Structure 1
Amino acid sequence: MTSLRVYDMASNITRRITRAVRFKMNSGIYTALSIASFVVCSTGIGFSQTQHYRYADPDQYFLPSPVRSVSTVPSNGDVNPYGVAFISRSFLSGAGPLRSGDILVSNFNNHNNLQGTGTTIVRIPASGSAPSVFFQGTAPLGLSTGLATLQYGLVLVCNLPTLDGTANTAKAGSLLVINNRGQLIQTITSEQINGPWDMTVIDRGDRASAFFANAIDGTVSRIDFAVSEKGLTKLGHYTIASGFQHQPDPAALFDAPTGLVYDANHDTLYVASTLDNAIFAVPDAVKRNSSDGPGFVIYDDPTHLHGALAMAEAPNGHLLVTNNDVINADPNQPSEIVEFTKDGNFVKEIPVDPNLGGSFGLAVQVKDNGTATLAAVDDNTATITIWTLED
């Protein structure tokens, strides 16, 4: 028998390995695992479906079949799934359809594949039943990667609309506030919302802060809100980081700052900047009311980064970032999710699609029973793939 070193996470949730057997084959040493729960180990995240699989290098996993792979195309034909968000246990579902563990996906393109014209959010039920349309707005809309939920039963989605699918007609956009029944109740605009490409939210119950990555001017902003079941009331708005490279791009609409992850323990906002092809850290993210530039680079890796895009935090504290495959593209590393530590050490790559340009939005949810789930969209196939994680 062999064992994997298990870290004690802040949540103090016990993870277990049910079996690990080391054996030797002609091609080298392999490890066979049968894992029924989320395991935390030094090699980074892996994937499980309570089945056997093998890997030759402890930092390079061969993935088992995903738990689910589901189409994100709604009845109106919207494509290019971008944003991904889980419904948590604390979400007030009320009379609406959303339940804990459901996944929401926002669509950026319409049925003609015009960028910045998608109007729908699709619900992927945790129960395994068929996807359905949770929200359908009225054009002009372009629902981007910025998608989040609040405990009060609200869904927030960023809107970066275009008239013809090109950056020439892109508008500053807005933040849409949708209730738990899929009804639009507010449209929030601000000078701090300027092409909202992605968003992350700190949910404190009756208070919330939303961070926006703005594609049109290459800034990151924060808006503080009071929250109730009736909606949001703006308390303050600030530009907290600036100077990220940004430009129009016919293949991606914009190359600009995108993925955002907030680290509450250190009041640090991590920013994935596509055109800079690097990950930045912005300190004092909640306290600061002005910009000192883009922050400082924590991860600069042209070997594995090919246009850093959407970003999420894994339960082991590592960061997961997708590649847009427009910047520094490598056909040998298409549509990858890259895992790395917050001090800038590469851990591994996780394939999403065998072709370039597939990986975009992703999200991670840790459940009370210690299991964790990763959901990642594939732009090429207009699907979302869902795995159970072992770490």
Structure 2
Amino acid sequence: MKRQNTALAAGAGLVALLAAAPAATASPPGGGFIGALSHNDVVVSTVPANGDVNPYGVAVVPSSSGRLVAGDVLVSNFNNAPTAANTGGEQGRGTTIVQVSPEGRRTLFARIPSRLAPTGEGLTTALVALRSGWVIVGALPTSDGTSATMRPGELIVLDSTGAVRETIMGHGIDGPWDATALDGGSFAELFVANVLPGISGGRPSSTRKGDVVRLVLDLRGKAPKLVASTIVANGLSVRTDPAALVIGPTGLALGPGGSLFIADAVNSRIARVPDAAFRLSAVDAGAARTTVASGKPLNGPLGLTLAPNGDLLTVNGGDNHLVELTRTGSVVANRNLDPKDPPGGALFGLAATAHPKSVYYVNDDTNTLNVLH
């Protein structure tokens, strides 16, 4: 009963948070948020001293605490250091999160010890920094960098000094690929996209079993406490890929009123799950009725975030374009962030800030954090 009361208290607080949040008005076509951003610069390399590469997750620190500084950017690395045998490093083996100031000063925020990651490392795009100072990152580990050795992984919870305080396994976590949060201060709802439901040992090579789990976390104790877990979306396409390990639902963005937007990379579409912050059952997010936008200019959308003006921003894995859409799917702007790389495949996580107006994103070909401003 105590567990139920805690979950109800969390729900009430988060409902109040959503009700109090201003409903941002999406921009009409003609420029939107990114239309006024004219400079596209490299901030700094994301490669730490141990050589980890392939930056995936991007999160802007919301408030200062411990070693975290408000406005700094956290970046998680998915691959370990390159070797002669693996010139790009092995996927699902990265252990580090770097912290970058807007001026380009890079420090190591955390290196996850193997003994504290029960199923292994491989830090994904599922990277969230909460106002309370907690940082949560997903791990989808492999033992050799191939899909045949992928394991369900876990969420790793770090404090504001970069120390691992706990890991969360099970409870619907199965290949955590991206995450977003409704941050209520004392409580948070964490939404996690999973790419491994129905896949074991890399087989079958494709499914429609990708899903999104909502985790309610009580943040008032010495470590976040999981009080509820609910699958809110399923039916999402996933396929293994030798170059990308696995392709599936990646970007997540929470809109006003609790709607959850999902980047369906396999089908080049954006899906919407209504009332995701409150619902008690899953929506088939692969169904046509959930589609907000599909097809060009979307081309394998990966990272997804909500711009300060309320529009959706996503980066294409297929052609390195940043696309801005209204929440009803109208295209506002479309910009190539890496014209030197025509095949695409360089971009993954991103985050937008209002002050100053900017979009931070990682380029995993150059292993850098970049900023459009």
TM over 0.5: yes
Equivalents in 2 of 1:305, 1:349: separation in Å?
A: 9
Matched, 1:228 2:220: yes
- Residue by residue over 1:107-144, the C-alpha shift from the partner in whole angstroms, topping out at 9 and shown as x without a partner, is 00111311111000001023x25301100012430100
In the TM superposition, what is the alpha-carbon distance from 1:86 to its structure 2 partner? Answer: 0.6
Contact 1:161–1:170, Cα closer than 8 Å, also in 2? yes
Match of 2:100 among 119, 124, 140: 124
Same amino acid, percent of matched pairs:
37
Equivalents in 2 of 1:230, 1:204: separation in Å?
A: 17
Paired amino acid for 2:96: T
- Residue by residue over 1:262-290, the C-alpha shift from the partner in whole angstroms, topping out at 9 and shown as x without a partner, is 11x32210011111221111011121122
Show the counterpart of 1:373: 358
Show the counterpart of 2:307: 314
Contact 2:55–2:368, Cα closer than 8 Å, also in 1? yes
Matched, 1:338 2:326: no
User: Greater CA radius of gyration, 1 or 2?
Assistant: 1
Show the counterpart of 1:170: 150
In the TM superposition, what is the alpha-carbon distance from 1:40 to its structure 2 partner? Answer: 10
List runs of 5+ in structure 1 lacking aligned partners: 1-8, 13-38, 50-62, 326-333
Equivalents in 1 of 2:358, 2:345: separation in Å?
A: 23
In the TM superposition, what is the alpha-carbon distance from 1:187 to its structure 2 partner? Answer: 0.5
Bigger mean CA offset, 344-353 vs 281-290: 344-353
Equivalents in 2 of 1:282, 1:78: separation in Å?
A: 35
Show the counterpart of 2:67: 97
- Match runs of 1:55-94 below 5 Å: 63-66=38-41, 68-88=42-62, 91-93=63-65
CA 205–65 in structure 1, closer or farther in 2 if over 3 Å, else same: closer
Contact 1:241–1:291, Cα closer than 8 Å, also in 2? yes
Higher share of residues assigned helix: 2
Match of 1:240 among 220, 232, 237: 232
Matched, 1:259 2:239: no
DSSP-derived class of the 1:231 partner: coil
Equivalents in 1 of 2:138, 2:187: separation in Å?
A: 19
In the TM superposition, what is the alpha-carbon distance from 1:349 to its structure 2 partner? Answer: 1.5
DSSP-derived class of the 2:94 partner: coil
In the TM superposition, what is the alpha-carbon distance from 1:72 to its structure 2 partner? Answer: 0.4
Match of 2:279 among 285, 288, 291: 288
- Match runs of 1:175-186 below 5 Å: 175-186=155-166
In the TM superposition, what is the alpha-carbon distance from 1:46 to its structure 2 partner? Answer: 3.1
Show the counterpart of 2:295: 302
Paired amino acid for 1:247: R
Contact 2:263–2:269, Cα closer than 8 Å, also in 1? yes
Equivalents in 1 of 2:104, 2:249: separation in Å?
A: 35
Contact 2:35–2:333, Cα closer than 8 Å, also in 1? no
DSSP-derived class of the 1:246 partner: strand
In the TM superposition, what is the alpha-carbon distance from 1:249 to its structure 2 partner? Answer: 1.1
CA 205–98 in structure 1, closer or farther in 2 if over 3 Å, else same: same
Show the counterpart of 1:18: none
4+ residue runs over 4 A deviation: 9-12, 39-42
TM-score by length of 1: 0.78
Contact 1:152–1:229, Cα closer than 8 Å, also in 2? no
- Match runs of 1:197-212 below 5 Å: 197-212=177-192
Paired amino acid for 2:268: N
Show the counterpart of 1:115: 91
Show the counterpart of 1:274: 265
